[in-house]
Copies of this chain bind each other. A is one copy, B any other.
Amino acid sequence: MEVRIAVSKVKKYATSNSGDTVEIVERPNGGLSVVMADGQSSGRGAKWISTLVVRKVIALLAEGVRDGAAARAASDSLFTERGGKVSSTLNILSVDKQTNTLVITRNNPAPVLLAENEAIYVLDVLSQPVGLYRDTRPIISEISLTEGLTAVVFSDGLVHAGSRTGESLDIASCLQELLEEENPTPELIADDLLHLAVTLDQGRPVDDVTVVVLRVTGSTGNLTRRMSVQLPLDS
């Protein structure tokens, strides 16, 4: 089997910084984790918050700390630093090679979509962002890594796309349509969802939008690991 991950992100129209932060890191016992945070409000302040949360989680994951404990620590850390006045959403998507599972950690009111082949499940159990209270716990789901598994994680910019004109995106239906195509790449899914959101916002996103798509596919027989980044310098 092979895991492919794609991240596509745009910032809110006319802001200096995206308040969303995403990093992908290797896990010390094999596999990798995608960590996404969306800091409260937008611009530089939001970036500071989401960076703090992501850094904290990454540092702990690198030491072998479990995802749930890392999320709780990030919440306590932000709560301590800012006295409960500032929140951030947090999602961790981990491919754990020790347990051969996908671990989905949510501290985010926005749902996570999970698809096994073309059947879509919405993970939307009530979940709080980190930083506002002591003892904020994440919602954790763990699923065996099997061929055909797809997970889609996004920041609330995707949920609120179109709000300027009272429209909104039915993200699960869009994903369903995409999955009915011939084995779409995660890049295609992430770009398409982002494009739909930006179009609903008439090309001027009302919020930072980040979409993370993970797919488990059959082995290609090629053992090369690959990573790539595309960074527009005026973004």
B7 touches A226 (CB 8 A): yes
- A59 contacts chain B at the CB level, 8 A cutoff: yes
Contacts of A31 in B (CB 8 A): 231
Contact of A97 among B223, B229, B233 (CB under 8 A): B233
Contact of A225 among B4, B9, B25, B95 (CB under 8 A): B9
A24 touches B226 (CB 8 A): no
- A166 contacts chain B at the CB level, 8 A cutoff: no
A186 to B235, CA, bound (A): 20
Contacts of A230 in B (CB 8 A): 2-4, 224-227
Contacts of A32 in B (CB 8 A): 229, 231
A226 to B210, CA, bound (A): 10
Shortest C-beta distance, A143 to chain B (Å), equals 15
A233 touches B55 (CB 8 A): no
A59 to B223, CA, bound (A): 29
Q: Identify which of residues 1-16 in chain A touch chain B, using a CB-to-CB cut-off of 8 Å.
A: 1-11
A219 touches B232 (CB 8 A): yes
Of the A-B pairs whose beta carbons lie under 8 Å apart in the complex, a sample of 27, sorted by A's number, is: A2-B230, A2-B232, A4-B229, A4-B230, A4-B231, A5-B229, A7-B226, A7-B227, A8-B226, A10-B225, A21-B26, A22-B227, A24-B227, A31-B231, A32-B231, A58-B58, A59-B59, A95-B231, A145-B233, A190-B226, A219-B232, A220-B232, A222-B232, A223-B234, A224-B232, A225-B231, A227-B230
